[in-house]
Structure 1
Amino acid sequence: MSAHSNTALKPATPPAAPASVLEVASPPAAPIKQTTMNSAPPRFELPAMTGRYLVRIGALLAAVLLWHLASSYGFNLLLNFENVPGPALVGETLVAQVTSSEFYVHILHSLKRIAIAYAIAVVLGITLGVMIGRSRWAEDIILPFIELLRPIPAVAWIPLAILMLPTEESSIIFITFLGALFPVVLNTMHGVEQTPPVLIRAARCLGASNRAILWHVVIPGAMPSIVAGLAIGMGVAWFSLLAGEIISGQYGIGYFTWTSYTLVQYPEIIIGMLTIGGLGTLCTLLVRKACTPLLRWQTQGARP
């Protein structure tokens, strides 16, 4: 065969693509990061809860600073700080009080009264609240007494409590009990009433008894309201305890505060007030922490 025929049998090579087509078809190479010795170090950020606690501490320190300025310069506009002792004097007096045993005797007496009265109020309040929320008969019989007695302040109960009860100690516990009872009853009642009826019907369709519905549907559904009532009741209990100890007590932080006023010991008045506030806050926090396992099913709120 000739050279011409051999050349014709070879496959034809395609023409070369233009340079612009190759640049468009091929993906761009990823840029190479160059690390330098002068790169910025990673930023350190505080946890969210730590930042919130710092804000709270800062707010308290700002309040103490305003208190110091108002008492130092004798601020007298709507509020008179001329006779109010400053934070430094109160701090010195507090150091002297915490080193004496009598101060702790007052605290222990108040804590004992709160524990007894609050325990009785929790048991009776939750029981009455569930009864009122589940039974119309109980609502018609019990609720009128609750609404009638609830607006009566703790101070108004003191003369009657002294007449009815054998000792001053029992009268103080009774007044404290009344203060904690009504918030627990009302919040429990509203929580039970707000239980979705569809859950109760579904439990009945599955064969649950009235007792099982109460323990596994109604009470867990009402638990957020019950916990709110327990927290509010603890605060009102301390308020009622203070009123009882002022009038008929011989020991207790309320008696300590009132005696300091009668003896014109102004720093001790503020120490008593701050002690009541601190103990009340601590007791409320303990109540919320103790109830946290009962609210594990509850979703978190929408607050950022």
Structure 2
Amino acid sequence: MRWALRIGSLAAVLVLWQVLTASDARAWLRFDQLPTVVEVAERFVTQIGGVEYYHDLGNSLARIMTGFLLAAVLGIALGVLIARATWLGDLLGPPLEVVRPIPAIALVPIAILLFPTDEQGIVFITFIAAFFPILVSTRHAVRALPTIWEDAVRTMGGSRVQVLVRVVLPGTLPGVFGGLSVGMGVAWICVISAEMISGQFGVGYRTWQAYTVVDYPGVIVGMITIGLLGYLTSAAVELLGRRVTRWLPREALR
């Protein structure tokens, strides 16, 4: 029933889209300017039949995975260290908090100046976009751990390393994977924007190129591709999180 409801809601949106665009509806919104579902589907079939479409997919996925994996490693490590070591939080907290509110896409000019190639700059933007959600979620998850857990391990003679491995890291997994899921979504937003500004290949670059030549079905195909890629990668992170934390009570995963 759940899958039927999901498929039915998607089908209803597509039918409404087709009816409004095919009938050139104009109310407050101008649907007569949009391509129909049929036109977009035909353009989509044409694109997936060419090599260029998969080349763009590969470039965007490579950029996302590189930036996201770097952000995951550094974000989790720094989040744990800042939450556990007060002096490190005092040292790194202020500069990180100053940079955190700056939208990652606003750093594109800095990335162009810093890195010798556009490719490295796009990966940097993707890294920054995912890094801060992961860092903040990990830091909050560590600080939210009940102190009684650590006290119990120390009472039984556990070392600092054992506390970290047996208490801190397992206990923060739900919060960490929440940050990873958010970070993946934000990373997609920023990598597409960066590709539109300074990329030479990728889904974002191709979508912008379609707009510049007034190929609106191609624009919507790019948007749908971006949405599907973002949904699939975020779902993969959430699935991994459920697998890794399946030993926890269900209440802890909510």
CA distance in 2, matches of 1:66, 1:138: 55
* 2:23 counterpart of 1:101: no
Q: Report what 2:207 is aligned to.
A: 257
Q: How far 1:145 sits from its partner (Å)? A: 2.1
Residue of 273, 277, 294 corresponding to 2:223: 273
CA distance in 2, matches of 1:158, 1:295: 36
Structure 1 contact 179–237 (Cα < 8 Å) conserved: yes
**Percent identity of the aligned residues?**
42
Q: Report what 2:250 is aligned to.
A: 300
Q: Report what 2:153 is aligned to.
A: 203
CA distance in 1, matches of 2:234, 2:115: 28
Q: What aligned pairs does 1:75-86 form with structure 2 within 5 A after superposition?
A: 75-86=25-36
Q: How far 1:301 sits from its partner (Å)? A: 4.4
Q: What aligned pairs does 1:81-230 form with structure 2 within 5 A after superposition?
A: 81-230=31-180
Q: How far 1:68 sits from its partner (Å)? A: 1.1
Structure 2 contact 21–36 (Cα < 8 Å) conserved: yes
Whichever residue aligns with residue 254 of structure 1, its letter is: G
Which deviations, in whole Å up to 9, do the C-alpha atoms of 1:19-55 show, x marking residues without a partner? Answer: xxxxxxxxxxxxxxxxxxxxxxxxxxxxxxxx11111
Q: How far 1:137 sits from its partner (Å)? A: 1.2
1:301/1:105 Cα in 2 relative to 1: closer, same or farther (>3 Å)? same
Which sits farther off after the overlay, 136-145 or 91-100?
A: 136-145
Q: Report what 1:74 is aligned to.
A: 24
Q: Report what 1:40 is aligned to.
A: none
Where do 5+ consecutive residues of structure 1 fail to align?
Answer: 1-50
Whichever residue aligns with residue 26 of structure 2, its letter is: N
Q: What aligned pairs does 1:37-76 form with structure 2 within 5 A after superposition?
A: 51-76=1-26
Structure 1 contact 154–244 (Cα < 8 Å) conserved: no
The alignment's C-alpha RMSD in Å is 1.5
Higher helix share: 2
1:301/1:56 Cα in 2 relative to 1: closer, same or farther (>3 Å)? farther
Q: Secondary structure at the match of 2:250?
A: coil
Structure 2 contact 174–241 (Cα < 8 Å) conserved: no
Q: How far 1:152 sits from its partner (Å)? A: 1.3
Q: How far 1:164 sits from its partner (Å)? A: 0.6
Q: How far 1:147 sits from its partner (Å)? A: 1.9
Q: How far 1:78 sits from its partner (Å)? A: 3.7
CA distance in 1, matches of 2:105, 2:83: 30
Structure 1 contact 154–243 (Cα < 8 Å) conserved: no
Larger Rg: 1
Question: Structure 2-normalised TM-score?
Answer: 0.96
Q: Secondary structure at the match of 2:64?
A: helix
